[in-house]
Amino acid sequence: MRFKELDPLLHSPLRLAVMSILVSAESADFVYLKQQTNATAGNLSVQLDKLQTAGYISIEKGFKGKKPCTTCRITAEGVARFDEYVNALRGYIG
């Protein structure tokens, strides 16, 4: 039996957590993602940038009132890559 290669971008616990949240939600803002993942703002920001650069998520920056708001959404590419990752994992666990 040959195991499928796991996407190294999704194999990071924080990036996987972000993708797991976004795959089941239409969108999530930075504060919510930070709370749900217990990540530092700096680390979360770096990981979101990596996911965006790969085309897995889109990031929209705006304002809620006078406060800055960063909203993340999973892309069609991100959904496809997440599904491939989950299916590959299933091959490892039986």
Alpha helices in the chain (DSSP H): 13-24, 30-37, 41-53, 76-93
Q: Please say whether the beta carbons of 75 and 55 come within 8 A.
A: yes
> Is residue 5 within a helix (H) or strand (E), and if so which, with residue range?
none
Instruction: Give the tens place of pLDDT for each residue, 68-81.
Output: 999 999 999 999 99
CB 70 within 8 A of CB 34: no
Asked if 84 and 10 count as a contact pair (C-beta separation under 8 A), the reply is: no
Q: What is the pTM of this model?
A: 0.92
Per-residue pLDDT reduced to its tens digit, 8-47:
999 999 999 999 999 999 899 999 999 999 999 999 999 9
Residue given tokens 């703002």 in the structure block: 41
Asked whether residue 1 carries a pLDDT value surpassing 90, the answer given is no
Nearest-angstrom CA–CA distance, 47 and 63:
22
Structural domains in the chain plus CATH codes: 13-87 (1.10.10.10)
